Structure 1
Amino acid sequence: MSRLHVVSGKGGTGKTTVAAALALALASEGRRTLLVEVEGRQGIAQLFETEALPYEERKIAVAPGGSGEVYAVAIDAERALLDYLQMFYKLGSAGRALKKLGAIDFATTIAPGLRDVLLTGKACEAVRRKGKDGRPVYDSVVMDAPPTGRITRFLNVNDEVAGLARIGPIHNQAQAVMRVLKSTETAVHLVTLLEEMPVQETMDGVTELRAAGLPVGGVIINMVRPHLLDGDDVREAAGGSRAAVAQALSQAGLGGARRGGHAERLVEPLLDQGREHAERLALEREQRTELTGLSLPTYELEFLGDGADLAGLYRLAADLRKQGVAEEGA
């Protein structure tokens, strides 16, 4: 069962919302989950309607049922680098002096690879950390990761660092991080919509992750809209008859079907909506077929018409649990 869940997705697919819902779903039956933010957007704090997350782990929610807990942390690259300087080189006060001089910010800005090493390293440390009883502090760690377009490089950066720094603590740390990221403890989940561009980016992302030897978890289809019409109704909507629609409106008491009447004025807008709905269903079927070809577990989350507020998060978490996420470890 996976313990580190990396959630990525094309921009606009709702990956932060899905990551938050997944954390809630995994924190059940007394389990504890850590939700990690690495992009500095404070999206998790907004979703859980709480103040900005600090660089420390803080409880932000209780799981459905009340027995599990969700903690969250916003990992800051500068603070993480100070931690590493102290951990590996005992540069506590010297590291703080470097920060005052702006050297820490300079280093993490000009070397984006270093920033990714620090972010992934802190998340993996949370996975490996054990309490006094020898048990993991967190049963699951969920990372709201960068978008699909750069997720493989983000996760694989420690392999590059380990190759550059062939000895010493940095090499050892990079190898330790990659042992977690490329193990069965990790699952990289991709969030998509049933639209052509997000699905194509998801498929490309899966190909890149597999080529890099990174473990792909599942595909989470977000914002799934309900099917208002099925079967024969869809076919009829696609090639709707003006006369049939006008007659149906008239029978429903919406005015006569005479030209210029109330029912007559509703015919074209209804036919347009019917055709658009039929076209959307056809497109969604095509995209589902593409995703099925990936041979990965697939989960679906409903479209939240009122927006992704806290109540909506709990609904999505319940949907994920019903689909077996908690039992399968996604």
Structure 2
Amino acid sequence: MVDIVSRIQQLLDKEKPFALARVIKTWRSSPRPVGSAMLITDDGEMHGSVSGGCIETAVVKGALEVIMSGQSKVMDFGVADEEAWEVGLSCGGSVSVLITPFMEDDAYVKFLRFLDKNKPFFILTRLNGPSHSNPIYLDRMEDELAGNPVLVNNINNAFESGLTGAIVESRAGDEYFAHFFRAKPRLILIGSAHITSELLVLASMHDFETIVIDPRDTFAKKTSRQQEPNQLIVKWPQEVLGEMDLDQNTFAVILSHDPKIDDEALKIILPSEMKYVGALGSKKTHAKRVERLKTYGFSEDEIARIDAPIGIDIGSQTPKEIAISVMGALIKAKNA
């Protein structure tokens, strides 16, 4: 759903009616996972996808009805359904899509604010009863859920299991769709160079939060970039990395080509829980790096965490190609 955020903001600014269609349940083979979303305006404009094309026409028709009526609806598609065959859902599975109408500005503004914080939150939408058309945007178990411990427990269990969304029940048997949004993966780039600039573009495309750290003022501030990082820190790595939460949602790429910078970063990164660390350089350069790290007391297992030479082997030659190779390795690690 985050891929349609910019369009939501534009429509809010224009006060243009729209509806959101979200996949809330799948069975067996399905083109798109739970949580996939599509935005539909009152004149049929689409952004995003709920199936990759096979049910979009029917969903747009349903969304236009929702915009007109102001009432949410759930559309079910499966291979046994005449409409599903008509629109091409022949993958052998089934999918349920929740369509909700444009709500008051405050609700979507809250959604955009939560995304900007890059903290976990969820949208809770009742699927039965009179209030099912009013999603609740929560960044924690707030007062809205007080007195409903069964629902809270079911939401927590679904979130902890790693699901992107789930249909959960309250003690009274009411059904809700809990749509989870997790913090973006965080990419720390040590060193500002040409490859850094190319990586920032790809990282933004793939929804990474980016931090560039480089103590060299000229490199940090005067390198031309098509995409700016979320944070640019002109300090030595050892001055800032120790204050960061280097958890399983954090990734690092070492790019400065200067051992005085790179090694200091690795001294802090290697003992951390960070999910991925890669370092630029040839096999010869990395062999020298390994010897230095051994003198600092790092074990072979710790040093083996470093992906070097960095990236997926695609025979990269140019900075753009190297950046693609590195991004491939980052995505592979993220999805592992």
Query: Would you say same fold, with TM above 0.5?
Result: no
TM-score when scaled to structure 2? 0.31
Of the two, which has the highest radius of gyration?
1
Tell me which protein shows more strand as a share of its residues: 2
Which structure exhibits the higher relative contact order, with contacts defined as CA atoms closer than 8 Å and separated by 6 or more residues? 1
Tell me which protein shows more helix as a share of its residues: 1
TM-score when scaled to structure 1? 0.31
